[in-house]
Amino acid sequence: MANLISVALIFAAAILAYGFRRRIMEPFRRFEARNAQRRADEARAMFDRFAHYRKTVEFAEEQVAAVEKITVPDERTGEPVARYLFLGEQFATRKDAESRRFAAVIERARDFYQDLDRIYLSRRGRGGREPPSAGPGLPSPPPKSGQMTRKSQTLPVFWPAKWFSIKGQ
């Protein structure tokens, strides 16, 4: 008798699972679709020289607030009208608000690249700060032959020679 109840419960569970299979499988299908899209984007980015900029703009877009639709009374008539709110500023049309949001996204992405320049170029001595020396009282290593130098910085030879003097010639 116990085996009969166990078999009946297993069949009931199988029938319920079959009945709800669409609800159960839908999250897995969405997950798989997102994974396939991500893999396709990564494959495309390998051959796209502007992929880094696109990813930076996408990342900055996640950080900027979305445009919200609000209803406020009109100044002249008092009737409720739809306005669009972005960073505390009201716009008459969604297009105006979205263009302001896009400008804010681009500004944030541009700030990211300026920060990169400030951080990495200052390590090489371009940002007004000289790079740390090899130690107290130790001179910097000499530049390799075939490279151009500017102050204490070594640059590859593809820079225009009129900007830099070539050492060793």
Q: How far is CA 156 from the centre of its chain?
A: 30
Work out the percent of the chain whose per-residue pLDDT is above 70: 72
pLDDT at 155 over 60: no
Measured CA to CA in angstroms, residue 138 lies from 66, 124, 133, 142, 165 at distances of: 54, 18, 7, 12, 24
> Could you tell me which of 144, 132, 121, 65 has the C-alpha nearest to residue 97?
65
pLDDT at 154 over 70: no
Query: What is the C-alpha separation between 105 and 136, in angstroms, rounded?
Result: 45
pLDDT confidence band for 123 (50 / 70 / 90): low
> Could you tell me which of 131, 133, 124 has the C-alpha nearest to residue 155?
124
Which 3 state secondary structure label does DSSP give 53? Answer: helix
Q: Please, what is the Cα angle at 157 between 155 and 161, to 5 degrees?
A: 95
- DSSP strand pairing (89-91 vs 153-155): unpaired
Q: Which pLDDT score is estimated for 160?
A: 46
Judge whether 60 and 108 are in contact, CB under 8 Å: yes
Between 134 and 21, name the one with better pLDDT: 21
Query: What is the C-alpha separation between 149 and 143, in angstroms, rounded?
Result: 7
Query: What is the C-alpha separation between 5 and 42, in angstroms, rounded?
Result: 52
pLDDT tens readout for residues 42-70: 898 888 888 888 888 989 999 999 999 99
The pTM is what? Answer: 0.53
Average pLDDT, the chain: 79
Which 3 state secondary structure label does DSSP give 161? Answer: coil
Q: Which pLDDT score is estimated for 144?
A: 60
**Residues sharing a CB contact under 8 Å with residue 113, sequence separation 6 or more, in sequence order:** 56
pLDDT at 12 over 60: yes
Judge whether 134 and 140 are in contact, CB under 8 Å: yes
Q: Which pLDDT score is estimated for 67?
A: 93
